[in-house]
Structure 1
């Protein structure tokens, strides 16, 4: 056992070329910082073999796959059955990231919505959590998630949540989780911190989305999983908790939502 506060980076991109020269060192630094688990997210099928290799090579790393909404236009559509088949990998723990992004790719809104519904159905069938990317599409996002959840319930995390209070409430009302990224630690993000402060503590996760969105004091530099702890410290302040208590709550939340990762770890320890 260790006295180090432990936490999970629930969303990162370890397969990105930003980490190619020192991937193992990046993972080692995370573990040293108390970040004992990482979920590396695959956003294109062409990258899946590399992502699987990373998760298979390190006990601390799990993976998820989905077609990123900004990639829908140039990515062959995936089917529910294909996602279900991929999910049979022992370290595949989530469906996504999927979602809607009208900030850069509003011209593909219809295709994004169709892809999102496929991923919702796969999450419902597998029981694995849906991982949502939402930007500049709050109304459609809330509507589609509500429609699909009513059709076939699923669990979900709003990854890197930085949307409106209305979308946050809609997600929470469906039983979903909100994930805090480095954005929540930016000095000008008080409105976002206020949204998180109204959420139940048992629906909060933390993440880096690395290599993007490094929190202070690393803002503007390449992000990495070790920096999850900086966001967690801000999260603890938001909820008025000691870091250890906040970290423990988010660990419990991760185990509940990403149950397959928790079960894999228990099986390895047995």
Structure 2
């Protein structure tokens, strides 16, 4: 008889309104670490590179004395642009991967580049990839998975994200079908997938062997309907409150967690409630209530 899978709950700087390495509207990193630990979380992600200390000795001291451990780093990539962007991409990836490795993490979350600016909403490129761009995206992502594993011992988990080319069920499944499961797994963000019309439980049940990591997030269906109707870019949609506190939105997280447990593998499930920008006193009470809610779901 196999042992039940273990879902390890964590949170991230994103849940404290942190999107950038340095921004006057964000809480200082010391406050984030203090509050995420006080809210009852044991695991964190690194967030944008440079927000937390990048010296692994110092970061280890700061996290250890708060009882925190690091589950993953995060990188943004534009791999659909082909081999020509590899060196620039790798320079960014290597810094993040080295710090994640030094902190004992096993994963690197890979987010595709936005086709429109997340602050201004300016359209940067076509929202639909050509067949050649799809080939570059899949082959370069496999290369990234191989290089990150060989050099840093980390698994990449690709994060479908609103306003990127890996977003809807159609594009997510196309991406999965075209990539090597041994090199490329998925970070399923329940909020982003719902934002783009996807069903997280269905994806877990259909592509369970590809799910390597979870981000737990919900969207407000009424605000989402307005965002979709108006074509609002992701950044302004977040400022409008499209990502909301569980259990007040969709998808319901109990069935998601149940489907994840049924995979019979160990998974990180990191809470992320996009709130940039937000008042400094807003995140902590939400984080504490969310942790309580997830415990009521058995997580």
TM-score normalised by length of structure 1: 0.58
Q: Confirm or deny that 1:135 pairs with 2:162.
A: yes
Secondary structure of 1:149's counterpart equals coil
Q: Secondary structure at the match of 2:288?
A: helix
Greater gyration radius: 2
Query: Match of 2:111?
Result: 98
Q: Aligned in 2, Cα 1:205/1:132: closer, same or farther, shift over 3 Å?
A: same
CA contact (8 A) 1:69 1:100 kept: yes
Other structure's SS at 2:75 match? coil
Cα 1:130–1:48 shift into 2, 3 Å: farther
- The corresponding residue for 1:213 is 275
Change (3 A) 1:33 1:62: same
SS at match of 2:88: coil
Question: Aligned match of 2:90 in 50, 62, 78?
Answer: 78
Deviation of the 1:9 alpha carbon: 0.9
1:135 is paired with a residue whose SS is coil
Task: For residue 67 of structure 1, give the secondary structure of its aligned residue in structure 2.
Answer: strand
Q: Contact 2:145/2:184 (CA < 8 Å) preserved in 1?
A: yes
Cα contact 2:247–2:253 (8 A) shared by 1: no
Unaligned ranges ≥5, structure 2: 1-7, 118-123, 221-242, 262-266
Tell me, yes or no, if the aligned pair for 1:99 and 1:132 is still in contact at 8 Å.
yes
- Work out which of the residue numbers 120, 132, 147 in structure 1 matches 2:178: 147
2:239 is aligned to none
- TM score, norm. by length of structure 2: 0.54
User: Is 1:23 matched with 2:29?
Assistant: yes
Q: Which residue in the other structure is 1:8 paired with?
A: 10
Task: Give the Cα–Cα distance (whole angstroms) in 1 for the partners of residues 251 and 53 of structure 2.
Answer: 35
Q: Which residue matches 1:197?
A: 255
| C-alpha contact (below 8 Å) 1:39/1:64 kept by paired residues | yes
Pairs aligned (count) = 225
Q: Shift of residue 213 of structure 1?
A: 2.5
Larger relative helix fraction:
1
SS in 2 for 1:96: strand
**Alpha-carbon distance change, 67 to 103 in structure 1, aligned in 2, over 3 angstroms:** same
Query: 1: distance between equivalents of 2:24 and 2:39?
Result: 20
Q: Distance in 1 between matches of 2:51 and 2:245?
A: 36
For structure 1, which runs of at least 5 residues remain unmatched after alignment?
1-5, 237-242, 250-270
Q: Relative to structure 1, is the Cα distance of residues 171 and 144 closer, same or farther in structure 2, using a 3 angstrom cutoff?
A: farther
Matches within 5 A, 1:46-65: 47=50, 50-53=53-56, 55-56=59-60, 57-59=62-64, 60-62=68-70, 64-65=72-73
Per the alignment, do residues 225 and 156 of structure 1 end up closer, same or farther by CA in structure 2, a change over 3 Å counting?
A: farther
Displacement after TM superposition at 1:122 (Å): 4.5
Kindly state the Cα deviation for residue 8 of structure 1 after the two structures are TM-superposed.
1.8
Contact 1:81 1:122 in 2 (8 A): no
- 3-state secondary structure, aligned to 1:193: coil
CA distance in 2, matches of 1:11, 1:146: 31
Q: Indicate the RMSD between aligned Cα atoms, in angstroms.
A: 4.7
CA contact (8 A) 2:10 2:268 kept: no
The Cα shift of 1:85 comes to 6.8
Distance 1:84 1:124 in 2: 13
**Which has the higher relative contact order, 1 or 2, with Cα contacts under 8 A spaced 6 or more apart?**
2
